Structure 1
Amino acid sequence: MLLAASKVLDRLKPVIGVNTDPERSEGHLCLPVRYTHSFPEALQKFSRGEFRWLWRQRIRLYLEGTGINPVPVDLHEQQLSLNQHSRAFNIERVDDERSEASGPQLLPVRALNEVFIGESLSSRMSYSWAVAVDNLRRSVPTLKGLASYYEISVDDGPWEKQKSSGLNLCTGTGSKAWSFNINRVATQAVEDVLNIAKRQGNLNLPLNRELVEKVTNEYNESLLYSPEEPKILFSIREPIANRVFSSSRQRCFSSKCNQFPTPATSSLLRLLKRFWEEELAREFVMHLISAAEVTNFT
């Protein structure tokens, strides 16, 4: 479904999702499971107009700076070993070093679920910085380190220096996917917090399983929002907070978006990433903009 949606660059083509593996896939973007085994019935309803349109916001992404690889890679088509992965990015790095800083480049895909910005191999001592848009990845030069170091500004607000395992920026559609699992809390954590609050505040609060589950469900449901809403939720994965790096907001909505903005005037999130390699600082600025919707058959 995500791959099919990435091929649609306007809002004139409807996208119909069919769950071909309901035993292993929830299929949030697909028709109800019963239509998997009776798809002709779904086509008949579609031809008779017995459906409603569901508009979904998508993310349009601009990259600016040096070392930008203009060719995205389909992750489902690239399954390399670690050595192959490293060599592949080293080749790109040679080409990138010869290039000068470029103006804003619009990625040729639209993110229906989310954009993830972070290290492509964050658990290794040698890895590459990557931007993943649903199923596509944009890569830049190989780095050394363990975490992502960047400065971030939301809705033209003040810049904040951060270090983390990366950022996830999702639409309302993607709020049910990776973003939800990044931010959701378990009943065990909620129960521990309520016990501390009860003890510290001398509260006569009866803690039972029903209350804990109710609080947990209400919090987790607050992480979801409509696919039609023109805003983006960004989440910071495993932020590092100390004397140097801060993390005032681990997740936040960014809602400054127009229908057809330009990167110079309507960036709702700007990310400045510095690459420290061979005593050379590299940087690029990212612009995230809410763009045209994609339709879904329901």
Structure 2
Amino acid sequence: LLYPEHRWSEHLKEEQETKLRSGSLLSATHPKETLTPKAATISHPDRHTISRSVSESIESVTKFENFASSNDSDPAPSASDSHMLPVLALNEVFIGESLSSRVSYYELGINKGNTIKQKSSGFTVCTGTGSTSWYFNINKLTDQCVGELVNIIGSELKVDLPKTDPAMVSRICKRFNDQLLFSPDHPRMAYTVRDPVYNATFPPVAPRGFADSITVKSRCFDAHLVVDGGLSYIFNDGSEATLAI
């Protein structure tokens, strides 16, 4: 588990740019003073205050950019900065935002491959022992889903499938779900991306699979790395974890 010595949040610059845009918009749309009935009271912000606010925002963004560029040469956190957790996961490890309604943002690398940006409801990794629990319930199909798929397949292939036979649908469903389980002594980990978000920024990837090593770099706001549903470690923006079996 790697906690970098310096953690630069991309959100800080976005916040400054938002303030700058807001100040510029307010300055540009400031109305000219006009005569109004005495019964009406209209208050306008002071022009000098707006101008000063915009100048301060520009200066703040400039300082941030200069500060960030001056630290580009800082060495990346080395292996000596990382910490081996004092526990091993028997079943699974979960990584994601503490608030379940907030999307988790992170960078994912499988088997030392290129990292890809991901947004989802979290990320789980399990051993064969844990494949009967959370991993299984995230990925399993229901009879309803299988029945609807059989109906669609029959329509697409122009064949008459026994889609109304509940016993057949149940057998197909069980066959799929059973192959999700794997032996406790299996030499690899199984991973699952929960409810992935796909768009131009976050391209589609296989939502589940097996791996020898997994690297996750957090871009989250208030996230944790949870071992076997018990031990929890803070895992916010900039933190990096490497999982291996």
Give how far 1:162 is off.
Answer: 0.8
Give how far 1:67 is off.
Answer: 8.7
Q: Which runs of 5+ in 1 are unaligned?
A: 1-61, 69-99, 124-145, 257-267, 291-298
Q: Does 1:111 align with 2:97?
A: no
Taking only aligned residues, the RMSD between alpha carbons, in angstroms, comes to 2.4
8 Å CA contact 1:165, 1:237 repeated in 2: yes
1:248 alignment counterpart: 205
Matched AA of 2:98: S
Aligned with 1:227 (options 176, 184, 189): 184
8 Å CA contact 1:170, 1:233 repeated in 2: yes
The CA deviation string for residues 46-77 of structure 1, in whole angstroms up to 9 with x for no partner, is xxxxxxxxxxxxxxxx3342599xxxxxxxxx
Matched AA of 1:181: N
Which of these two proteins has the greater Rg computed from alpha carbons?
2
CA distance in 2 between partners of 1:218 and 1:212 (Å): 10
Alignment of 1:123-134 (within 5 A): 123=101
Q: Would you identify which runs of 4 or more consecutive aligned residues in structure 1 move more than 4 Å? A: none
CA distance in 1 between partners of 2:219 and 2:138 (Å): 25
CA distance in 1 between partners of 2:6 and 2:95 (Å): 15
1:6 alignment counterpart: none
2:216 alignment counterpart: 271
State the TM-score, normalized to the length of structure 1: 0.50
1:150 alignment counterpart: 106
Q: CA 1:108–1:67 in 2, change beyond 3 Å: closer, same or farther? A: farther
Q: Does 1:197 align with 2:175?
A: no
* Greater per-residue helix proportion: 2
Give how far 1:115 is off.
Answer: 0.2
Q: Which runs of 5+ in 2 are unaligned?
A: 8-75, 223-235
1:171 alignment counterpart: 127
Identity of aligned residues (%): 38
CA distance in 1 between partners of 2:144 and 2:138 (Å): 16
Q: CA 1:211–1:163 in 2, change beyond 3 Å: closer, same or farther? A: same
Give how far 1:245 is off.
Answer: 1.1
What is the count of residue pairs matched by the alignment? 161
State the TM-score, normalized to the length of structure 2: 0.61
1:63 alignment counterpart: 2
Q: Secondary structure at the match of 2:239?
A: strand
2:142 alignment counterpart: 186
Q: CA 1:64–1:231 in 2, change beyond 3 Å: closer, same or farther? A: farther
